[in-house]
Amino acid sequence: MAGLVEQRSIDVVPDEERHGSAFSQFTLWVGANLHITAVVTGALAVVFGGGALWSIVGLLLGNLLGGTVMALHSAQGPRLGLPQMISSRAQFGVKGAVVPLALVILMYVGFFASGTVLAGQAVGKLTHLGDTTGIIVFAVITAAVAVIGYRVIHTLGRVASVICAVAFIYLGIRLLDRIDLGTVLHDHAFSFPLFLLAVSLSASWQLAFGPYVADYSRYLPRTTSGRATFWWTLGGTALGSQWSMTFGVLVAATAGDAFLNSQVGYVVGLGGTGLMASVLYFVIALGKLTINVLNTYGGFMSMVTSISGFRGQKTLTARGRTLYILVIMVAGTVVALAGKDSFLDSFKDFLLFLLAFFTPWSAINLVDYYLISRERYDIPALSDPAGRYGAWRWDALLVYGIGLVAQFPFLATSFYTGPLVAPLGGADISWIVGLVVPAALYWTLARRNTSHIPAATILSASGTTEQPVPQQVTSA
C-alpha cells in the first residue's frame, strides 16, 4: 500500500519517477467528463431558453475553444514536472500567486459540492440510505482515492471512461427510442445571446480545468511531445464533455419538468428499473467519483501552493497531504448539504461567475509560458521569495486586476448584469474580454523586461539545466 500511495505533492517530479504516455490524458479526460454534472451543464443551455440545435453547436464551439486553452496548460506538465499553480509563481511571484489561488480553492470546493449533491443522490438510491447519507459516504470515498493519488486517479479515469461510455451509449439508444430527433432539432431559430450562453457554459466548464490540468500530466516523461500531450488532452476533454452535454440538451428539450425536478432520477428511469436502475446509479456515482477526485486533489494542491509560498515549504509529508485533503472534503460536504435542494438554480451562475476569475489567469499564464519565457523556468526559484521571481510580481497582478474589471461591463448573471450586456442583446461575452485584454496587456508589459528568464530551464539548485527536448509528436 505504501508504494501505491503518492509521495509527491508540490515538489518537482524527478525524471526517474516519470512514466506513462500522452494517451493517458485522453482516457483521463474522457472519464472526467462523462458524468451527470456535464449532462446538467448541457441541459442548462435549453433550460434557459435555447433551441436544441444551436445549443449543441454553441456547446461544441465552447468546448473546443475552452478545451484548447485547457490543453495548452496540460502540455506544461511533462516539461516542468510541477503542479499547475506552482508555475503561476513565475508570473505572479512566489507569494503573489496566492491571489488567483484563493479563487481556485473556492472553485474546487464549489465543484466538489455540486458534484457530491448529484452523486450523493445516486449513492443514496443505490444503498437506500437517503441523499444526506449518500452525500457523506460519497465524500469520504472521494477523499480516500485522492489521498492515494496519481496512479489510482489515472486508473480510475481509464475504468470510468470505458464503463461510462458504454452506459451513455445505452442511455442514448433508450432516449432516441423515446423521442423524434428530427422534431427536436427542427427549430432552426437563432438567438445570438442564447447561442453565446451555450458557448460560455461549455467554455467555462473547460477553462475551470485549467488550474489543475498539468497536475495530471506532470508524471509523463520529460521527452513526451508537447503536441501529443495537447492533442490527447483536447481530444479527451472535448469528446467526453460534448457527448455528455449533447445528451443533456436532448433530455432537457424533451423531458421538461420531469428532468428538472430530478436529474439523477430521470436519467436512471430512462435506462430502466430493477437491476438496470441499480447499475445506472452505480455508473453515475463512478462518473462523479472521477471528477470529484480531481477537484479534491486540485484543491489540496492549491492550498499547499498558497501556504507554502509564505512558509518556504518545498515538500509535504503524507500526513500533511491527508489533512489538506480532509479540509477540502469537509468544506465541500458542508456546502453540498446546505445547497442540495437548490442545486440547478445556482449552478449556471456559479459556472459563469467563476469564468470571470479564471480567464485572466489563463491568459497571463499561457502568454508567459509560451511567448515570454518560452518554456524556460528556474524551478528552484519558484520556491524562493528572494529569488529571480520575487515575492510579488506587481505587473502580473495589475494585469490580472485589469482583466477582472474589464469583464464586469459584459457579465450577465442573476445577481449582477453589466451595462454593456443589454446593447449586445443580452449576450455575455465577458470570458472573451477576460482572455484577450490581459493576454495583450501582459504581453506588452512583460516583454519589456525579460532579465529574470533563464537561458534554459533550471532543474535544481545546483544549476542543472534541461537538455533540449525533441518536440515531434510521439506515438501513444
pLDDT at 358: 82
Cα–Cα distances (Å) from 439 to 92, 186, 211, 231, in that order, read 14, 40, 17, 22
pLDDT digits (tens, 9 = 90+) for 45-67: 998 888 999 999 999 999 999 99
* C-alpha cell recorded at residue 355: 469564468
Residue 180 or 5, more confident: 180
* Rounded CA separation 278/281 (Å): 5
Name the band, by pLDDT with cuts 50, 70 and 90, for residue 409: very high
Q: Please provide the distance, in angstroms rounded to a whole number, between the alpha carbons at the two ends of the chain.
A: 29
Long-range contacts of 440-448 (CB under 8 A, 24+ apart): 441/399, 441/402, 441/403, 442/91, 442/363, 442/364, 442/367, 442/368, 442/372, 442/395, 442/396, 442/399, 443/367, 443/371, 443/372, 445/395, 445/399, 446/367, 446/368, 446/372, 446/395, 446/396, 447/371, 447/372
Nearest to 101 by CA among 324, 385, 298, 381: 298
Residue 202's alpha-carbon distances to 37, 392, 440, in angstroms, are 12, 33, 24
Distance CA 303, CA 295 (A): 12
Let me know: does 352 contact 428? Beta carbons within 8 Å.
Answer: yes
Residue 425 has pLDDT above 90, yes or no: no
What letter would DSSP give residue 375?
Answer: T
What integer is the mean pLDDT of 371-397? Answer: 91
Whether 9 shows a pLDDT value over 80: the answer reads no
Q: Where are the domains of the chain?
A: 15-348
CATH of domain 15-348: 1.10.4160.10
469 SS3 class: coil
Contact 236, 30 (CB under 8 A): yes
Whether the pLDDT of residue 347 is over 80: the answer is: no
Q: Sign of dihedral through CA atoms 144, 229, 78, 11?
A: negative
CA distances from 4 to 7, 22, 150, 151, 157 (A): 9, 21, 9, 7, 16
Q: Mean pLDDT score of the chain, rounded to an integer?
A: 85
Residues in the chain: 476
Who wins on pLDDT, 333 or 317?
A: 333
pLDDT of residue 371: 94
Q: What is the pLDDT of residues 124-176, one digit of tens each?
A: 888 888 888 888 988 899 888 888 877 888 888 889 889 999 999 999 999 99
**Is a pLDDT exceeding 80 seen at residue 318?**
no
d(CA 122, CA 265): 8
Strand-pairing partners, residue 25, are: none
- Give me the numbers of helices (H) and strands (E) for the chain, helices first please: 18, 0
- Model confidence, pTM: 0.87
Report residue 11's pLDDT band, with 50, 70 and 90 as the boundaries.
confident
Neighbours of 265 (CB within 10 A): 16
Rounded distance, CA 165 to CA 238, Å? 14
Q: What is the mean pLDDT of residues 212-230?
A: 91
Banded pLDDT at 474 (limits 50, 70, 90): very low
Mean pLDDT of 106-110: 80
